[in-house]
Chain A
Amino acid sequence: MSIASFSKVLSLAAFALSGLSALGAQAADFNFTGQAVFNTDRIQLSFSLDADSTGVKVWTDSWRSGLNFDPVVAVWGKTLSGYVLLSEVDDDDTLGSGQGSFDAGLKFDTLAAGHYLVTLAASPNYANGTTLTAGFAFDGQTPVALADWTQPSNNPNTNDQKGGYWSLHLSGVTQAAPVPEPSSWALLVTGLAVAALRRRRA
């Protein structure tokens, strides 16, 4: 997994709000995109709310009629004892204009000020439980490259969903940023070490 791009777009509503009042935080819209490589990859992004909020939305628009993998999205709330699952949705295409039927999305009528985590994985790599530490369904499995993987939801008539591109939108949050996955870093470090070792032997 790598974060390929990052963009922050202030919504018109946020502009209007900030222009009129100094109260509260600026609610903003964010769009993160990247490229997943393996079926076990999990993308994590943190976001925060400076004030209690309504209408916070998190959604993908990268499925693109099967060009890319079928994502599942979960939102976790930060507590003293760690992240707790608020909601996990595999398919909801009612949140953004670019979504297709297997895109994922969540909408919260109200969400308290605080820190949150969004996880994006390939369906059906669902959360094992209600705490982040419980892990995900594919944990411990040998990673398979998405390009070589037959995702269970793929269309057998076209053998689609081979692409690793992902795009995640957050709407109505104060701040958002990608969280490098420890395991990815570990893999990267291991990979570099192996590469270095090979280079030395060569």
Chain B
Amino acid sequence: MGRPTQVKPARSGGNRRDFFKHSGSAAVAIAATPLLPLSGQAAVALNALFQHGVASGDPLSDRVILWTRVSPTNGRSSQVVDYDVAKDPAFIQIAASGRVKTNIERDFTVKIDVARLEPNTTYYYRFAVEGSQSPAGRTKTLPVGVTPSLRMAVVSCSNFAYGYFNAYRRIAERADLDMVVHLGDYIYEYGSGQYGNVRACEPATEIVTLADYRARHAQYKRDPDSQAMHRQHPLVAIWDDHETANNAWKNGAENHQPGSEGTWPARVAAALQAYYEWMPVRVPDTANPQRNNRSFAIGNLVDLIMLEQRLSGRSEQLGTNIGHPSGYFVQSGAYADPTRQLLGAEQETWLFNKLRGSTAKWKLLGQGVMFAQLKVQGAPLSAGGGVFLNSDQWDGYQPARDRVYEVLKGGNGQAPVNNVVVLTGDIHSAWAADLTQDPNNPNLATGGYDKASGQGSRAVEFVGTSISSPGVNDPAGAVANSLKPANPHLKYIDLHRRGYMLIDANASRCVCEFWNVDTVASLSNVQTFAAAFEVLDGANRLAPSVQTPNRANPPPLAP
């Protein structure tokens, strides 16, 4: 890409320059400190054969992916793995069992798509190698038909180097969740000290090769809090950029230097091979690994539509990284080019058909980058729309975003699409937004938006903060408040805290609760409820809400 290689200083913590992203290349390699065994919060009994835990994911009404990884002790390049799936944590009512194999070519990872399961049912599963059993996991299939509620955690941006995954542990403790949705940046590609120095990275350098990506995934999967989350809930995950490299797009990435790191296709192939090996996800298209968009029907209540926004169709970002004033931009020139894509034409068509064809009450879009406008200067569209600061999010692809709005609004013989809730990660901060094309235009008659009533909003967005990646040091909300005048559609902004979102949807409303942990610098059990917003059926705009009750009598957690 012809960019000069920059040498980055090692960073010690979140600051303004870390505003959501990390810039530059990875030329700094800090000498690796010896890695200590993971300790602290109680892990399940560590089994040397299954030291990367167990996981499940991509549940459907009749099947779910079960995952583990074998650390062989017999020196063989192939391993025989037995599995059991039961309806009870004591494994008395066996629902499925079988024998599979894995091998060194797939890094001894095990992935089973267990079929012929019952809908809306909690199952427990475990693996065995040569008689030695893994920890037990718990998972759940999706419901069919009339579905009264969905309750799930939504997470993103879990940076091992930047801190402890306390939020994962809090999610693991919630027995009443249907699933966990991870919106990407599940791993980070940087070397030790390049982006966080609470914990050292394996390998110590930026990951580029297949062996590198595998080793990094393995390190993340050995984290006891991550293992706890995976063990108790099925995961629905998409990648964002850091599963390959920072600010990835179809043909490159800000943090990829072809001169020293090989070709981009080779790096993507390595990253995705490791991703599919190490993540409990179903591969939508084995012939085209970049294509990762897929959807999940949660009865008649929710269609969960997961998008791929990095590798299959995204045009190159036009600006520099967020946080650099030089990167501020307006919607003109190349930014107004309708041929630039965020999803790519094929996925865009797929999404629009999904939205228009959905008969579910709610259409939840699981995706990476912020859909709502984020302006440093507000202005109506008629006056240019103002000044934007992050060309990596939908702001940098406004014509593509407008095409989504055309689907939401309907017209030209198409019905409007209501009850769309966008779920977003990426930017290490929490936001709730009314989605409108022209938030700074108060005139509803010309397509504007009334910030008091929310009229003019076509959908809503909940952006979740990070599990551990750094936000802005903004404890009193001064920076957040400074953004509000230019962004009347942003009803909640917290740039300071780490945590997760809890989504609770029923036929009448979809609530988002923002939950925060007190620190990621050390292990901690403290979490606090921060705020809740909801969208009522048919309203397409935010309203304040309250904490939702836990479900009564949830199935027991995996022992």
A contact residues vs B (CB 8 Å cutoff): 65-66, 70, 90-91, 93, 100-102, 123-124, 152-153, 155-159
Contacts and interface: CB of A to CB of B under 8 A. Distances in A.
Given A91-B76, A91-B78, A157-B111, A100 B286 contact: no
Interface residues of B, number: 20
B283 A101 contact: no
Given A91-B78, A101-B78, A157 B101 contact: no
A93 B111 contact: no
Contact of A102 (B101, B276, B277): B101
A124 B112 CA distance: 16
Contacts of A124: 99
Of A65, A70, A153, A156, the most chain B CB neighbours within 10 A belong to: A156
18 contacts: A66-B105, A70-B101, A90-B78, A91-B77, A91-B78, A100-B105, A101-B103, A101-B104, A102-B78, A152-B101, A153-B100, A155-B106, A156-B111, A157-B106, A157-B273, A157-B276, A157-B283, A159-B283
B286 A102 contact: no
Contacts of B450: none
Interface string B103-123: 111100001110000000000
Contacts of A156: 111-113, 282-283
B100 A152 contact: yes
A124 B80 CA distance: 12
Of B106, B276, B277, B282, the most chain A CB neighbours within 10 A belong to: B106
A158 B104 CA distance: 15
A152 B98 CA distance: 10
Given A156-B283, A157-B106, A157-B283, A93 B101 contact: no
List of 10 A-B pairs having minimum Cβ-Cβ separation, nearest first: A101-B77, A101-B103, A91-B78, A157-B276, A159-B286, A101-B78, A153-B101, A156-B111, A157-B283, A158-B286
Interface in B57-114: 76-78, 98-101, 103-106, 111-113
A113 B20 CA distance: 74
Contacts of A158: 283, 286
B151 to A, nearest CB: 29
A74 B106 CA distance: 26
Given A91-B103, A158-B283, 10 more contacts: A65-B105, A91-B78, A93-B77, A102-B101, A102-B103, A123-B101, A152-B98, A153-B101, A156-B283, A157-B106
A159 B283 CA distance: 9
A118 B356 CA distance: 59
Contacts of B277: 157
Contacts of A100: 77, 103, 105
Contacts of B104: 101
A8 B77 CA distance: 29
Contacts of B76: 91, 101
Nearest to A103: B78
Of B101, B111, B112, B286, the most chain A CB neighbours within 10 A belong to: B101
Contacts of B100: 152-153
B67 to A, nearest CB: 10
A153 B103 CA distance: 10
Nearest to A124: B99
A123 B101 CA distance: 10
Contacts of A152: 98-101
A157 B276 CA distance: 6
A159 B111 CA distance: 12
Nearest to B276: A157
A93 B78 contact: yes
Contacts of A90: 78, 101
Contacts of B103: 91, 100-102
A97 to B, nearest CB: 14
B286 A101 contact: no
Contacts of B78: 90-91, 93, 101-102
A161 B310 CA distance: 30
A23 B103 CA distance: 44
Of A70, A90, A93, A157, the most chain B CB neighbours within 10 A belong to: A157
B105 A101 contact: yes
Nearest to B112: A156
A153 B102 CA distance: 7
B183 to A, nearest CB: 21
A161 to B, nearest CB: 11
B365 to A, nearest CB: 25
A19 B98 CA distance: 53
B81 to A, nearest CB: 10
Contacts of B113: 156
Contacts of B101: 70, 90-91, 102, 123, 152-153
Contacts of A153: 100-101
Nearest to A155: B106
Contacts of A157: 106, 111, 273, 276-277, 283, 286
A22 B276 CA distance: 59
A79 B103 CA distance: 37
B130 to A, nearest CB: 14
A124 B99 CA distance: 10
A61 to B, nearest CB: 14
A124 to B, nearest CB: 8
Contacts of A91: 76-78, 101, 103
Interface string B465-477: 0000000000000
A164 B112 CA distance: 23
Contacts of A65: 105
Of A123, A155, A159, the most chain B CB neighbours within 10 A belong to: A155
A155 B105 CA distance: 9
A66 B106 CA distance: 11
A7 to B, nearest CB: 27
Of A70, A101, A152, the most chain B CB neighbours within 10 A belong to: A101
Contacts of B99: 124, 152
B58 to A, nearest CB: 11
A186 to B, nearest CB: 31
A155 B286 CA distance: 10
Interface string B24-41: 000000000000000000
Of A66, A123, A158, A159, the most chain B CB neighbours within 10 A belong to: A158
Contacts of B105: 65-66, 100-101, 155
A159 B106 CA distance: 12
A47 B302 CA distance: 63
Contacts of A66: 105
Of B76, B273, B282, the most chain A CB neighbours within 10 A belong to: B76
A57 to B, nearest CB: 18
Contacts of A159: 283, 286
A157 B280 CA distance: 11
Contacts of B106: 155, 157
